[in-house]
Amino acid sequence: MISGAFDSLSHSIETYLGSPREVNLSDEINEATQRNIIRNIRATLADTQDIQARSELIWAAAMAENGILKIGKVTDFQCHMLEHQLGAYTDCNHGQGLAVLHPVLYRHMMPEANKQFARLALEVWNVDPSEKSEEELADAFVDALALFIKEIGLPTTFAEMNISSDTDFKAIADTTVLTGGCAKKFSRDELLEVLLECR
CATH, residue 156: 1.20.1090.10
Q: How many CB atoms lie within 10 A of CB 70?
A: 17
Nearest to 89 by CA among 184, 187, 174: 174
Range of the domain at 143: 2-197
Tell me which residues of the chain have a pLDDT lower than 70. Answer: none
Measure the CA–CA gap between 168 and 86, rounded to whole angstroms.
Answer: 10
Q: Distance between terminal CA atoms of the chain?
A: 24
Q: What amino acid is encoded at 157 in this protein?
A: T
Total domains in the chain come to 1
Q: Which residues contact 122 (CB under 8 A, 6 or more apart)?
A: 129, 137
Nearest to 42 by CA among 145, 138, 123, 151: 151
Res 62: pLDDT = 97
Res 148: pLDDT = 98
Q: Record the pTM.
A: 0.97
Mean pLDDT (the chain, rounded): 97
Res 39: pLDDT = 98
Res 75: pLDDT = 96
Nearest to 177 by CA among 97, 75, 99, 24: 75
Res 175: pLDDT = 98
Measure the CA–CA gap between 95 and 92, rounded to whole angstroms.
Answer: 9
Bridge partners (DSSP) listed for residue 55:
none
